[in-house]
Amino acid sequence: MDAEGGEVTLICGYVSDVDGGHVGNSFSQNTHCLVFYVGFIKLHAPSNPTERTQITKQDLITQGKSANKQDPTSIQRRTLISAGLLALLSSPRRAIAEGEDGQPGNPFIVLLKGIYQPVPAGHGPNLGLSSVNLSDGTYSKTKIYPVFKAPGGTNGENSDDDAIGTFYVSLATFLCAYDLPGGAIAMQFLNTSAGFTLLVPDGRGGQFDEGTFELAILEATGIYKPFKGGHNHMVDRLHQLKAGPPFAGFPSSGYDEFCFCIISQYQFP
């Protein structure tokens, strides 16, 4: 990735079905049937980043209530994200190599996938991250799978045996943590124009919550230390098993995650 002259190369994307359409009722979580669009965009790293406000639970609920309205900003954002080169993940055996010498790429991409489970108070792991307390009783967890230049496992596969780590998230603090091979990363959700912009009924009493989220990287350990101060661009399709406002009854009412995370050492604009 070229970072000369203050420029960086941003990789981002979203998931569509094999016919090239946007994810919808025909969406399948089986990676045999997925196409992942990856856009490479030249950006200038800001010398004086603007102050970012932390997201709140009410922000997410409000976004969910207005999700079916067509927001021109959201449409432009999706168009930008989908621009560029096309990377086919049509088979789980079509692996993409991890970074050189076992190091994560910049960026690297992981997939959060699986039913969220609560982390009981006092039973969260200590990942060496001072900004998160995974034992405070507010966190839930799901599995992490490698997609692009992520250390550990065989990148591009998503079988239950190929999980490389655990993702932890708290709706009380809007902090999260990635427990990955070779280290861990703590992040903060940001209050931007992103969020769940589309709610799609699943035909079984639930819904798919679709949208994007921006996160700031607060700290990182091990091989991920260079990512401190960097960014995570989430492209999410969360399966909410009981329809209603996003995150209502989370996680006990049933939430099946399917979220691509594009994690970089540089900022998303």
Over residues 170-215, the pLDDT tens digits come to: 999 999 999 999 999 999 999 655 579 999 999 999 999 999 999 9
| Residue 142: inside a domain | yes
Among 59-73, 96-110, 184-198, the range scoring the smallest mean pLDDT is 59-73
Both tokens of 117, joined, read 């489970």
pLDDT, residue 246, reads: 93
Among 103-112, 116-125, 185-194, 238-247, the range scoring the smallest mean pLDDT is 185-194
Categorize the per-residue pLDDT at 60 as very low, low, confident or very high, splitting at 50, 70 and 90. Answer: low
Both tokens of 144, joined, read 């992490």
| Residue 226: inside a domain | yes
The residue ranking higher by pLDDT, 269 or 207, is 207
| Residue 14: inside a domain | no
Over residues 129-170, the pLDDT tens digits come to: 999 999 999 999 999 999 999 998 655 445 556 899 999 999
Dist. CA 174–CA 230, nearest whole Å: 17
Q: Average pLDDT of 3-15? A: 39
Q: How far is CA 7 from CA 2, 4, 77, 244, in A?
A: 7, 6, 20, 42
Both tokens of 25, joined, read 């009722």
Nearest Cα to 151, choosing from 102, 116, 198? 102
Q: Per-residue b/e over 133-145, b at no fewer than 16 CB within 10 Å?
A: bbeeebbbbbbbb
Structure-derived torsion over alpha carbons of residues 244, 247, 253, 254, reported in degrees to the nearest 10: 110
| Residue 108: inside a domain | yes
Q: Average pLDDT of 223-233? A: 97
| Residue 248: inside a domain | yes
Range of the domain at 122: 52-72+96-264
Please state, rounded to an integer, the average pLDDT across all residues of the chain.
73
- Phi/psi zone of residue 109: left (φ > 0), alpha (ψ -120 to 50 degrees), beta? beta
Q: How far is CA 165 from CA 2, 15, 50, 68, 131, in A?
A: 29, 22, 32, 34, 19
Categorize the per-residue pLDDT at 99 as very low, low, confident or very high, splitting at 50, 70 and 90. Answer: low
**2-6, 80-84, 178-182, range with greatest mean pLDDT:** 178-182
The residue ranking higher by pLDDT, 116 or 98, is 116
- Phi/psi zone of residue 137: left (φ > 0), alpha (ψ -120 to 50 degrees), beta? left
| Residue 31: inside a domain | no
Q: Average pLDDT of 216-242? A: 97
In sequence order, the β-bridge partners of residue 6 are: none
Burial (CB < 10 A; 0-12, 13-18, 19+), residue 41, is middle
| Residue 138: inside a domain | yes
Task: Look up the pTM and report it.
Answer: 0.70
Question: How many domains does the chain divide into?
Answer: 1
pLDDT, residue 85, reads: 28
Q: How far is CA 8 from CA 2, 100, 101, in A?
A: 6, 19, 22
pLDDT, residue 218, reads: 98
Dist. CA 143–CA 106, nearest whole Å: 21
Both tokens of 120, joined, read 């009981």
**With contact defined as beta carbons under 8 Å apart, do 118 and 140 qualify?**
yes
Dist. CA 180–CA 105, nearest whole Å: 14
| Residue 259: inside a domain | yes
Among 67-76, 185-194, 218-227, the range scoring the smallest mean pLDDT is 67-76
